[in-house]
């Protein structure tokens, strides 16, 4: 999976911004100030870390050798995907959407309302 494609896909999600709070090399994708993904582009192959429902995370880790517990993250909720080509792009894109949706679901009512205002402009 192409990193530029990942970047463009994530930025199409409403309210998403890219920040680099860890290091200049590591893009972090946030919705309304909450992280839903980050990329480790200097790893070979690159890594993508996403939030997944714990049961879903366990399932994908058990079925895909290139999915690991989240690197430097809460291992129950975060998963690191090694982008080695072994997982279909559509599946990775669906996991990105799930991560985004989980984070949006956890936003405060005020932040959700703000996000709705951003998407209806």
Instruction: Answer yes or no: is 66 within a domain.
Output: yes
For residue 34, what is the DSSP state? Answer: E
Q: Which residue has the tokens 């690197």?
A: 71
Task: Reply yes or no on whether the pLDDT at 1 is more than 80.
Answer: no
The three state secondary structure string of 48-93 is EEEECCHHHHHHHHHHCCCEEECCCCCCCCEEEEECCCCCCHHHHH
CB-CB neighbours of 10 under 10 Å: 24
- With residue 4 as reference, give the H or E element that holds it: helix 3-11
Examine the pLDDT at 65 and tell me if it is beyond 70.
yes
Total domains, the chain:
1
User: Is residue 26 assigned to a domain?
Assistant: no
Q: The domain that contains 6 carries what CATH number?
A: 3.90.1150.30
Does residue 77 lie within any of the structural domains? yes
Range of the domain at 47: 1-19+31-87
Residue 66 has pLDDT above 90, yes or no: yes
pLDDT score for 91: 96
Q: How far apart are CA 118 and CA 45, in angstroms?
A: 35
State pLDDT tens for residues 31-63.
999 999 999 999 999 999 999 999 999 999 999
Q: Is residue 81 one of the residues assigned to a domain? A: yes
Taking only the tens place, the pLDDT of each residue in 75-118 is 889 999 999 999 999 999 999 999 999 999 999 999 999 999 98
């Amino acid at each position: 999976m192409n990193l530029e494609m990942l970047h463009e896909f994530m930025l199409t999600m409403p309210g998403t911004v890219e920040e680099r709070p860890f290091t200049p090399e590591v893009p972090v994708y946030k919705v309304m100030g909450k992280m839903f993904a980050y990329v480790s582009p200097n790893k070979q192959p690159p890594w993508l870390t996403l939030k997944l429902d714990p049961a879903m995370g366990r399932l994908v880790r058990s079925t895909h050798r290139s999915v690991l517990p989240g690197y430097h993250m809460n291992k129950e909720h975060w998963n690191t995907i090694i982008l080695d080509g072994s997982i279909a792009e559509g599946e990775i894109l669906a996991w990105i959407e799930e991560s985004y949706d989980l984070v949006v679901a956890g936003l405060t009512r005020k932040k959700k309302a703000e996000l709705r205002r951003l998407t209806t402009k």
